[in-house]
A and B are shown apart, each in its own frame.
Chain A
Amino acid sequence: FFYLVRVGHPINYYLQFVTRFYIHFTAEQVVYMAIVGSFPFNSFLSGVLSCVGTAVLAVCLRIQVNKENKEFKDLPPERAFADFVLCNMVLHLVIMNFLG
């Protein structure tokens, strides 16, 4: 799920960095859980899924914003970004409820 968008575009670097950071963060959480044990399982799950969720949403945003994708020609990037923000808000609300 790394797609090389127009090189040099600043948002591309930001999103690439963000997704790579989230993958690293997820791996760290899994390792921590393996060491400490998974007692508050809901907290572990919410942590892992928040990373995965934001990464996935960021990737979706990049796909939608990229001008070379013919399927998303008609989608204005502002709308894509607004969707992204909305989904992230919902995601984090649910995560906060799930953390316990």
Chain B
Amino acid sequence: MGGPIDLPPPPPPPPPSFSLKTLKLKTKQKELLLRVTILCLVYILAFITRLFSVLRYESMIHEFDPYFNYRTTLYLTKNGFYDFWNWFDSESWYPLGRIIGGTLYPGLMVTAAFIYWTLKFLSFAVHIREVCVLTAPFFASNTTIVAYFFGKELWDSGAGLVAAALIAICPGYISRSVAGSYDNEGVAIFALLLTFYLFVKAVNTGSLAWSLASAFGYFYMVSAWGGYVFIINLIPLYVLVLLITGRYSMRLYVAYNCMYVLGMLLAMQIQFVGFQHVQSGEHMAAMGVFFLLQAYNPSIPHRFFLKLKHMEFCWHMRSSCHNSFYFLGWVKYLLSDTKLFQAFLRTTLTITIGVGGLAFGVGMASGYISPWTGRFYSLLDPTYAKDHIPIIASVSEHQPTAWSSFMFDFHILLFLFPAGLYFCFKRLSDTTIFIVMYGLTSMYFASVMVRLILVATPAVCLISAIAVSATIKNLTSLIRTKSKALHIGSSKGNMSSKASSKTSFDQSLPFGIKTASALLLGAFYLLSRYSLHCTWVTSEAYSSPSIVLAARGAHGDRVIFDDYREAYFWLRQNTPPDAKVMSWWDYGYQITAMGNRTVIVDNNTWNNTHIATVGRAMSSYEDEAYEIMRSLDVDYVLVVFGGVTGYSSDDINKFLWMVRIGGGVFPVIKEPDYLVNGEYRVDKEMRYDVLACVRRHSVSHNEYSSYGFRYKLSYYRFGELTTEYGKPPGYDRARGVEIGNKDVKLNYLEEAFTTSNWIVRIYKVKPPSNRW
């Protein structure tokens, strides 16, 4: 009985089984593993969900603008950076040419070329086109990683994970970053989010290194997209808001100053941007806030609101050892008299503000500081473009957004956004103020222009992620504490009094455990519906390469119309290399990229008069149009016609825009001349008589030559074609009517090529007849 009590021998270790427990991880490491796994899966998901069109059709570039980007990237990889930077292109905008090196945003092309060179260095022999096609999904995946870090900075890592998952599949972002959509926005949204994240980190830590990083992020954004104006206006606005709400701190001073000076310098290296940072009205806000920060005295708001003598005395005492730095403080040290110093303060402030205002006013009045340009001004005043700049108004992406578009692109995020705003206001900090401002301003701009839903998407995803994460966290912690309380209560029977008091305390909380789990299930259901919706939207709406059309045949099989590429390759192979092609500006980039021929106008739309000349040629009679074409040296005319296939965005439907744009420069073209009772028609009710009597033409002209040029080119020989069973020949399937004049004869052109579905028609301009 005196010896030590022998413990029973320890049980043998359990046989190894494949579970996470055998890795013997601590909780922190388990959490890290979980997070890394989730992020990897989200990364892969963001990439895969954008590959629909590559799987369905082939790996090709979509739409119009990406073809220009592709062509420039090709040039960059072939000729090197120096030639690319100084490139003058004589193949577009004949006879003016275009200084490409100075009028594009090189970020996207340089990025793709860099990836291509890296892969080549690693001995992967890929074609540059594949790199271009897959650049956007790759950067979308990178955006999810940045969103994770941003969410972590905002709230916690849970919100970061949800933000990454939401932004990976959000349709608002997918619309401009599918595989094949090789456009500036694919890279620019990554740069935008990166710049914002780095700046917020700089404000939080106050270190120069983060500010330098954010300046580099801003430089990348400026090189990638014209939307950088949003950054250079949002950040000063944010600084102003922080100043007004009394959250000024030295970290803010350090972060903003470093970022502004370095960012501005770096941005001016891009030729297209040039000196706009000091000369354009859109960038003046940043400069104004920069000067304001230098002179800012953080106790001024105090002095305005509390005009008590002892407060002034306290301020006077504090300032000698306080962190309010300002030029005036130094002067104050020199003049040790309060009254004299206050007089000095007043005079210098008024003088500085006066001089600044005067300089700004003189700059604006003399035109040195240019006012807000049309594209950005129409964001502030949405009716501006319609009256003054028809080219901007004609682009369908620039129209105001309907609610259905918002729902389509955001789904549940639309009502999670206000919920997230509520959470942000509950926990106000410098970071949450920023995201609230970003969200609200970007939502305003998204409602003005459909295209800018893209800019609002990261903000909406982040704020909704906060809402989702906070709610789910609250619910799960509720469930956990409730179940723990019950568990404790049941296992320790002799502490029943304590347990019962605990359970009674828990029941005073708003939810019981059943309600909480029901709510949690509801939240998961919503999230699953969201992902289903996003995948459906991506598959149906955003994965079509506009250059290849698909439809359902009579037996339900898929019919592919590859007419565009057919026509461009015909051009490439059957026309002389110096041939000039006239078409509407939509197709310019594609013709230069794929057909490799000179065009008169293309999508850059930098010269309105040139486009108006083409529009005038399309709207007049054939003889006038012939004169215009001779003056422009045109050899071929390209027309897009959808009457046979029912393709509705062809040139006949765009005709009114040609008239408007042409009429904007040449008043001889009036829009009402082309309308019947205010409507635009091509059937029998066309305006025969007005067209005949408005223009004087000689008697020898055939009476049918009095119809507009556009009409003749589209409907040449169409009257003989039967398009639909049971309808008369010459039935236009896109307009749904039978055309008025079926017997179209061309005097100055001859038909060169019509594609197999009559979508693209190419005509050769005949040289003038020999004089006799």
Contact = CB atoms under 8 A, between A and B. Distances in A.
Interface of A: 1-4, 41-42, 45-46, 49, 52-53, 56-57, 59-61, 63-64, 68-72, 75, 79-80, 83-84, 86-87, 90-91, 94-95, 97-98
A90 B262 CA distance: 8
Given A2-B330, A71-B249, A56 B257 contact: yes
A23 B532 CA distance: 60
B258 interface: yes
A66 B615 CA distance: 66
Contact of A64 (B254, B268, B325): B254
Contacts of A60: 208, 253-254, 257-258
Given A2-B329, A80-B207, 6 more contacts: A1-B294, A2-B326, A45-B268, A53-B262, A57-B261, A87-B258
5 contacts: A2-B330, A49-B264, A69-B250, A71-B251, A80-B207
Nearest to B261: A53
A12 to B, nearest CB: 12
A83 B261 CA distance: 15
A31 to B, nearest CB: 15
Query: Which 4 pairs, one residue from A and one from B, show the smallest C-beta to C-beta distance?
Result: A3-B325, A2-B330, A83-B208, A60-B254
Contacts of A71: 206, 249-251, 323
A68 B321 contact: yes
A95 B265 contact: yes
Contacts of B265: 46, 49, 53, 91, 94-95, 98
A91 B207 CA distance: 16
A79 B207 CA distance: 9
A75 B206 CA distance: 9
Contact of B207 (A53, A57, A83): A83
A69 B326 contact: no
Interface residues of B, number: 32
B278 interface: yes
Interface in B221-279: 249-251, 253-254, 257-258, 261-262, 264-266, 268-269, 275, 278
Q: Is the interface of B mostly helix, strand, loop or mixed?
A: helix
B88 to A, nearest CB: 19
Contact of A69 (B261, B323, B329): B323
Which one of B253, B264, B323 has the highest number of Cβ atoms from chain A below 10 Å of its Cβ?
B323
Nearest to A97: B269
Nearest to B332: A4
A68 B262 CA distance: 27
Contacts of B211: 87
A46 B268 CA distance: 10
Contact of B209 (A45, A70, A83): A83
Contacts of B444: none
A79 to B, nearest CB: 8
